[in-house]
A = this chain, B = another copy of it.
């Protein structure tokens, strides 16, 4: 096999169409000449929000996560309806659907951009901070069961460093918010 200068993808084959992800088997050529099969998970992307109440508390969602077999504490977040949906529109929608609080688009500020697990997946999550929250009502998907609770920022930081709150987007979002806004 001729050597290539860098890793080159020779083929991408769909092996399973999941509910929210697409699973592919990639064939890649390595610079040493080897040809290998690598995993690739395609994802439509998502948005997450750090919703900051007027008193500085942060709204978090509690939900059961099948992949972990337990409940998690997370910032509100959700997948884009399609790869064409603007991330901000997704954030705006998911905040109100999951928490029952709404913010105007001008009260959303971009915080950070994440790729959740780059070794095998292209999932991107754009994280925003939202302020000037107004109470409306939750509008959950029919398979969503979510409880909302407001936390002090310091309490969330304790949960991160004690290992009680582990969700990657949430850890990144809360730490990034702390460093940028609450030094």
Footprint of B on A, CB under 8 Å? 6-7, 9, 15-16, 18-21, 23, 25-26, 28, 30-32, 34, 36-41, 64-68, 72, 74, 79, 112-125, 142-143, 145, 157, 160-161, 163, 166-169, 171-172, 175-176, 178-180
Q: Are A168 and B7 in contact (CB under 8 A)?
A: no
A81 → B minimal CB distance (Å): 15
Residues of B contacting A9 with CB < 8 Å? 66
List of B residues within 8 angstroms of A119 by Cβ: 20, 65, 67, 79
A168 contacts B115, CB within 8 Å? Answer: yes
Q: How far is the CA of A118 from the CA of B63 in the complex (A)?
A: 11
State in angstroms the CA–CA spacing of A112 and B171 once bound together: 9
A167 touching B66 in the complex, CB below 8 Å, given contacts A19-B37, A39-B20:
no
Bound Cα distance from A163 to B25, whole angstroms: 29
Least distance between A171 CB and chain B CB atoms (Å): 5
B116 near A34: Cβ-Cβ < 8 Å: no
Counting chain B CB atoms within 10 Å of each CB, the highest count among A16, A31, A118 belongs to A118
CB pair A172–B161 under 8 Å, yes or no, is no
